[in-house]
Structure 1
Amino acid sequence: MCGITGVFDTRGQSLIDEVSLQRMNDSQWHRGPDEGEIYMEPGLGLGHRRLSIIDVATGQQPLFNEDRSVVIVFNGEIYNYQSLMTELQTLGHVFRTKSDTEVIVHAWESWGEDCVLRLRGMFAFALWDRNRQTFFMARDRLGVKPMHYALLGDGQLLFGSELKSLLAHGGMDRSLDPLAVEEYFALGYVPEPRCIFSQARKLSPGHRLSIRRGQPIPEPEEYWDLRFTLDRKIGLDEACAELRERLDESVRLRMIAEVPLGAFLSGGVDSSAVVATMAGLSDEPVNTCSIAFDDPAFNESAFAQMVADRYKTNHRVETVRSDDFDLIDLLARLYDEPYADSSALPTYRVCQLARKHVTVALSGDGGDEGFGGYRRYRTHLAEDRRRAALPASVREPLFGLLGRLYPKADWAPRVLRAKSTFEGLARNSVEAYFHEVSILRGGMRQRLFSPALKAQLGGYDALNVFQGHAAKADTEDPLALIQYLDVKTYLVGDINTKVDRASMAHSLEVREPLMDHSLLEWLATLPSDLKIRGQEGKYLFKKAMEPRLPDDVLYRPKMGFAVPLARWFRGPLRQRVRDAVLGPRLAATGWFNHDYLRHLVDAHQSGAQDYSASLWSLMMFESFLRQVVDGESTGLPVSAVEEAASLS
């Protein structure tokens, strides 16, 4: 696990500035504190920060082939590297290391751009082939590992694991993309391939980019997509048995390491299943860690302890106080873009705890998307059945009117909170799901944004992101469609972003066995009623895990990994939220309606409405403007900032 960065001259062989390249590499020190090297040749500069996991002795990067005509920097893990190494040796390749990085180099020599089709794992890499005069970048299928890039006016291409490495170069424009602002306030993150900065882009999951020096730069090419065929005829017992086998294989592959290894254990189904599987594959007790909250409404530690006791794990627990909000500005620097998932706070803390004991941790991320676990899935399917009962010509005007007239009633019993239901019934399935997951819904964003920002948007709506993916989903099944949308948006832009930045801030590698692409491909062949049956989400997964986990873990209500924002903003953060949302930095953008900002703050703090998610997104945007755009941050690596602030 590492941080990679570099500069490539797409037009010729201009000299790369070594000072800038070194600064780019140093900005990602936290991603790889063990070693750091740069390599330069005319028209190319590569940087690498290493967190040693596999082939600790000889796996240094940048890494070359035998005649040094191909050089690579790589971030991630290739879990099938040993079998690929054997295959490549039979093709005549000679290995000087035992690393998965060298496997990619020789795979490129044998299979070219299609080498990515042979890789099973999480990865982002960039390589230069001098003989072919080709620069090649690729990102793993599920976007577990990040890749950012920017093309400068002089033809230099900057790339890096984190946006901070591009910013450290000094040549990238820091102008913000108004379309990214619209997407952020809708979703709480900036979805691929857009970045908050106009000049930068993210390489989308399952995409590759091949550039021949001196030729026009093509658009990235998709090499993988998830297809929901739902055509596998299989009984429940057979499906359970096969799922256990596939999970065993996925976990086993991710337990290969030359450093201490463990797992997160939240007490939910996903992490508990991973820990149970690890215990069955290991002769030694599994190292597990959990975060407990002093607020019972958010505390799952008793269920984590139940699993830890059953499998006799080496379990560590730390309690996070319910007012643990000291990290707000650090998070803004950590994520480089505005990022509004408040569970980043406890995620940061659990990574901090894990790194005290292990270097690699397995997680349960991806289980909800793959197995159908989110409550919103069941809500959406129920609404879809209601939508199907009325023709659109009747449904849309009727429920559209009711949605506009019915008051927002967060204070009322759930049965009386009909506004969102009416609004959802007035839309088609894709529009309704986008509406459901939006932080500030369409009408709220219209009230939030100033005429100046609306003019820059030119009518653009973040709904376009979902519509674009839906057009490629190739399924009419309502559950499969929203699973596909989540795999393309929420899983990548929110979940994977959160875990990557939080873990790498502590030089911790996190591996996600439930995001194994072959496992997801298999799940996509199964009928949807194996994933949600009645009101039971993750039906197949829970049935398959019954021999391994207690019912109290499998069938209890889902809690999530949340923090008490609503209470914070009416109590200990009352003044801070007012200062941020109504203060000079947001006003200076000219993008926001001050009267509506005041309404959000006043209505929330009076208890009339719950606008906590909207206020958090505004607070994080304001902190991003100060920390990243204005450069209030120290310029030190994240870990150095943390140490200086005495947060560890």
Structure 2
Amino acid sequence: MCGIVGIYHLDTPKPVDPARVAGMCDALAHRGPDGEGVWTAPGVGLGHRRLSIIDLAGSPQPMASSDGRAVLVFNGEIYNFRELRHELAAGGVHFRTDGDSEVILAAWQRWGTDCLQHLQGMFAFAIYDLEARSLFLARDRLGVKPLFYATLSDGSVIFGSELKALLAHPLLRREADPLAVEDYMTWGYVPDHRAILKNVHKLAAGHFLLLRHGKPLPVPNEWWDVSFAGRRSGRRAALEEELHALLQEAVRSRMVADVPLGAFLSGGVDSSSVVAFMANAGAQPVRTCSIGFDVAGLDETAYAQKIAQRFGTDHVTRRVSPDDFEAVEALAGMFDEPFADASALPTWRVCQLAREHVTVALSGDGADEALAGYRRHVFQRAEDRVRGALPASMRAAVFGRLGALYPKADWAPRPLRAKSTLLALAGDSAQGYARALAYTTPELREGLYSPEFQRLRGEYRAEQPLEALMRKAPARSGLDRAQYADLKFWLPGDILTKIDRTSMAVGLEAREPLLDHRLVEFAACLPENLRVRGRQGKWLMKQAMQRHLPEDILYRPKQGFVTPIAQWFRGPLQEAAREIAHGKGLAATGWFDQHHLGHLVEQHVSGRSDHARLLWQLLMLERSFTTLGLV
């Protein structure tokens, strides 16, 4: 796990200043505290910060191929590098190191861009081919590892693992993209099709770029996609055994490391499953860690302790006060772009705890997206049955009118929160799922924005790319399309961004075995009733794990990390909330209706309404703008 940066001149191969590449590397020092390197040639410069995991002393980067033709910088892990190494060596390749970096170089020289199909792992890398004078940029299938890039006024393309690496280059323009603000205000993060700064891009998951001197910047090529169009046949018991074997192999393959390795353990199904397979695969006790809270309703450590005792893990727990609001500034600097998922705070804390004991930690992220584990998947399937039973015109007229009249009641028990369900049923499956995913509704955003921002936004709405993605998905059903959107949109934008930034901030490598692409491809072809059955998601996985986990772990309600932001904005962050509406931060943009914001703040502070998520969104946007120098 590392940080990578680079500069490449598209037009003519101008000299690249090594000090400029080194400056970009320095911005990523937290990602690679164990080493650094810079390499330049006419028209190109590559930089690397290393967190040593495999072949600790023998694989420094930037790394040149044995014939000197190609140079690599690489962030991530290739889990099948030993098998690939054996295959390439049989074909005559001579290896000088024992790590996975040199295997990528050899695979590139053997197969070209098709090398990506041979790599199993998480990665973002760049290879400069001195003979072809080309730069190859690639990102893993599901977007576990990030890669930002931008074109500059001097004709160069710069890239880096985080936006802060690009910000270290003096020619990068710092101008906020209003469409990215619309995206952020809708989803709580800036999705991968956009960046918070104009002219900055993210290489999408499962895509690559091949740049050549004298050629314009190409359109990224998609090299991997997941299809929900097929359906596996066969007996349920056989599919259950196949899923169990895939889970087992996914975990086993991610236990290769030359440094201490452990796991995050929340006591939920996913992290408990990972720990169960780790315990069965290793001779030594698994190192596990959990974060608990002083508030009983937020604390899951008893479940984590139960799993730790069941599998004899070397378990550590730390309780933290939910009053962790002082970390707001650090979070803004960690993410660069605005990021409103408040669970980033406890995720950061558990990464800090893990780093005190290990250098690599396995997480349970990804199973909900791959195997339909979210409550919204259950609702989506049920709502699609209603949509299928009634004509679209009738649904739009009846449910649309009822939804408009029904009061918003976030404070009420879930069965009484009918407004969002009625509005979702008024539209098609994609429109309904967009409402389920969104932090803010279109109606709420209209009241937040100033006339100037609405002019800049034009006809664009953040839901449009998600709805288009779902409608074009290789899928059969609404549930298929919802999961496809989760894997392609929500997962890289929110979940994987959160774990990458919070783990890398403390020099910890996080691995996600439940996102093994073979497991994801298998799950996408399961019949719907093996993913969702009744009100139970991840049904087949839970059946497969009954031999390892107790029922109170498998079937307890999903909780996740909770942060008490509603209380913060009525207490220690009350003045920060008022600053959102009346301060010099967001007000300086002229993009928000300050009077309306002030009204929402006072409603929340007084306890008349709960606008905590919206206020947190706005606070993180303001802090991000400040960090980026935009206000």
User: Same fold per TM (> 0.5)?
Assistant: yes
TM-fit CA distance, 1:572: 2.5
Return the alpha-carbon distance in structure 2 between the equivalents of residues 545 and 179 of structure 1: 43
Corresponding position of 2:270: 270
Residue 591 of structure 1 aligns to which amino acid in structure 2?
Answer: W
**1:478 Cα offset (Å):** 1.6
The one-letter amino acid paired with 2:472 is K
**Is the counterpart of residue 40 in structure 1 residue 50 in structure 2?**
no
**Secondary structure in structure 2 of the residue aligned to 1:158:** strand
Cα distance between partner residues in 2 of 1:566 and 1:6: 42
**Deviation readout 1:206-261 (Å, 9 max, x if unpaired):** 00000111112210000000001341112222122111111111111100000000
- For 1:472 and 1:171, locate their aligned partners in 2 and report how far apart those are by CA, in whole Å: 38
Distance in 2 (alpha carbons) for counterparts of 1:230 and 1:8: 41
| 141-150 or 36-45, which deviates more | 36-45
Give the drift of 1:19: 2.5
Matches within 5 A, 1:387-398: 387-398=387-398
Cα deviation, residue 419, structure 1:
1.2
What is the rounded CA distance, in whole Å, between the counterparts of 2:245 and 2:411 in structure 1? 46
Q: Does 1:112 align with 2:95?
A: no
Aligned to 1:231: 231
Alpha-carbon distance in structure 2 between the residues aligned to 1:556 and 1:104: 43
Partner in structure 1 of residue 591 of structure 2 = 591
Find the counterpart in structure 2 of residue 533 from structure 1.
Answer: 533
Q: CA deviation at 1:463?
A: 1.1
2:420 alignment counterpart: 420
Residue 267 of structure 2 contacts residue 304 of structure 2 at CA under 8 Å; is this kept in 1? yes
Q: Does residue 57 of structure 1 match 2:57?
A: yes
Q: Who is 1:17 aligned against?
A: 17
1:33-68 CA-partner distances (Å, limit 9, x unpaired): 000111111111111000000111211000011221
Trace 1:70-85 onto structure 2 (pairs within 5 A).
70-85=70-85
1:416, distance to aligned residue in structure 2 (A): 2.8
Structure 1 counterpart of 2:66, one-letter code: E
Secondary structure of the corresponding residue to residue 56 of structure 1: coil
Task: Give the 5 Å matches for 1:356-505.
Answer: 356-505=356-505
Q: Secondary structure at the match of 1:489?
A: helix
What's the CA shift for 1:296?
Answer: 1.5
| Superimposed CA distance per residue, residues 453-493 of structure 1 (whole angstroms, 9 cap, x where no aligned partner) | 11111110011221231233121312111000000111110
Q: Identity, % of aligned pairs? A: 51
Question: 1:330: Cα distance to partner?
Answer: 0.8
Residue aligning to 2:287: 287
Distance (whole Å) between structure 2 residues aligned to residue 387 and residue 606 of structure 1: 40
Distance across 1 between alignment mates of 2:501 and 2:581 = 25
Decide which moves more: 254-263 or 448-457. Answer: 448-457
What SS class does the counterpart of residue 169 from structure 1 fall into?
coil
- More divergent stretch after superposition (578-587 vs 521-530): 578-587
CA distance in 2, matches of 1:3, 1:204: 17
Indicate if the aligned counterparts of 2:125 and 2:138 stay in contact, CA closer than 8 A. yes
Counterpart CA distance in 2 for 1:427 and 1:458 is 22
**Is 388-397 or 530-539 further displaced after alignment?**
388-397
Asked if the contact 2:191/2:493 (under 8 Å) is kept, the reply is: yes
Kept in 1: contact 2:65–2:71 (CA 8 A): yes
Q: Distance in 2 between matches of 1:419 and 1:41?
A: 60
Distance in 1 between the 2:201 and 2:88 partners? Answer: 33
Deviations, residues 370-428 of structure 1 (Å, cap 9, x unaligned):
11110111122222222222211111022212222221122333333221121111111
Q: Could you say which residue in structure 2 is the equivalent of 1:175?
A: 175
**CA–CA distance in structure 1, aligned partners of residues 84 and 140 of structure 2:** 17
1:303 & 1:581 partners in 2: Cα distance?
41
Contact 1:75 1:125 in 2 (8 A): yes
Letter in structure 1 aligned against 2:2? C
Letter aligned with residue 82 of structure 2: Q
Give distance in 2, aligned partners of 1:233 and 1:112. Answer: 36
**1:148-182 per-position Cα deviation (integer Å, ceiling 9, x unaligned):** 00011221010000000000011111101111111
Letter in 2 for 1:169: H
Distance 1:378 1:405 in 2: 25
| Alignment partners' CA distance in 2, 1:229 and 1:276 | 32
**What amino acid maps onto 2:316 in structure 1?**
R
Task: Give the equivalent residue in structure 1 for 2:617.
Answer: 617
Q: Is residue 291–residue 346 contact of structure 1 (8 Å, CA) maintained in 2?
A: yes
Q: Determine if contact 1:411/1:608 at 8 Å carries over to the other structure.
A: no
Q: How far apart are 1:630 and its partner, in Å?
A: 4.6
Alpha-carbon shift at residue 341 of structure 1 (Å): 0.3
8 Å contact kept, 1:450–1:592: yes
The amino acid of 1:144's aligned partner reads: V
- 3-state SS in 2 of match to 1:331: helix
Structure 2 CA distance for aligned equivalents of residues 389 and 596 of structure 1: 40
Pairing 1:95-134 to 2, within 5 Å after superposition: 95-134=95-134
Shift of 1:299: 0.9
Q: How many residues align?
A: 631
> Where does 1:500-511 land on structure 2 (aligned, <5 Å)?
500-511=500-511
Matched, 1:213 2:207: no
Which amino acid in the other structure matches residue 515 of structure 1?
L
Q: Residue 164 of structure 1 aligns to a residue in which SS? A: helix
Question: In structure 2, what residue type is equivalent to 1:14?
Answer: K
Distance change (3 Å), C-alpha of 1:630 and 1:466 = closer
Checking the alignment, whether the CA contact within 8 Å between 2:581 and 2:595 is kept in structure 1 is: no
**Residues 1:12 and 1:604: Cα distance change in structure 2 (over 3 Å):** same
- How big is each residue's C-alpha offset from its partner over 1:93-147, in whole Å with a ceiling of 9 and x where there is no partner? 1111111111111111110011111100000000100111111000000000000
Give the structure 2 partner of residue 348 of structure 1: 348
Asked if the contact 2:229–2:476 (Cα under 8 Å) also holds between the matched residues in 1, the reply is no
How far apart are the structure 2 equivalents of 1:433 and 1:471? 11
Q: Distance in 2 between matches of 1:630 and 1:424?
A: 36
Equivalent position SS for 1:546: helix
- Residue equivalent to 1:5: 5
SS in 2 for 1:291: strand
Aligned AA (2:426): A
Say which SS state the counterpart of residue 135 (structure 2) adopts. strand
Alpha-carbon distance in 2 for matches of 1:419, 1:320: 36
Most deviating of 237-246 and 303-312: 237-246
Farther off after superposition, 497-506 or 448-457 = 448-457
> Taking structure 2 as the reference length, what is the TM-score of the superposition?
0.98
Q: CA RMSD in A?
A: 1.2
Q: Amino acid of the residue matched to residue 337 of structure 1?
A: E
Distance change >3 Å, CA 77–CA 581, structure 1 → 2 = farther
Q: Distance in 1 between matches of 2:576 and 2:89?
A: 60
Equivalent residue letter for 1:311? F
- Alignment check: 8 A CA contact 1:581 1:619 kept: no
In the TM superposition, what whole-angstrom CA distance separates every residue of 1:421-448 from its partner, at most 9, and x where no partner exists? 2111111111111111111110111111
- For 2:229 and 2:405, the matched residues in 1 are separated by 41
Determine if contact 1:369/1:483 at 8 Å carries over to the other structure.
yes
Q: Aligned equivalents of 2:145 and 2:493: distance in 1?
A: 11
Answer whether contact 1:70 1:105 (CA < 8 A) is retained. Answer: yes
Structure 1 position 154 matched with structure 2 position 190: no
The residue identity in structure 2 corresponding to 1:620 is: M
Aligned mates of 2:245, 2:621 — CA distance in 1: 44
Distance 2:282 2:312 in 1: 12
Distance 2:606 2:386 in 1: 35
Counterpart Cα distance in 1 of 2:477 and 2:542: 22
User: Contact between 2:174 and 2:628, CA under 8 Å: does it hold in 1?
Assistant: no
Unaligned runs of 5+ in 2: none
Q: Unaligned regions of 5+ residues in structure 1, if any?
A: 632-648
- Distance in 1 (CA, whole Å) between partners of 2:347 and 2:265 is 12
Q: 3-state SS of the aligned residue for 1:5?
A: strand
Q: SS where residue 330 of structure 1 aligns?
A: helix
Which residue does 1:303 correspond to in 2?
303
- In structure 1, the residue corresponding to 2:610 is in which secondary structure? coil
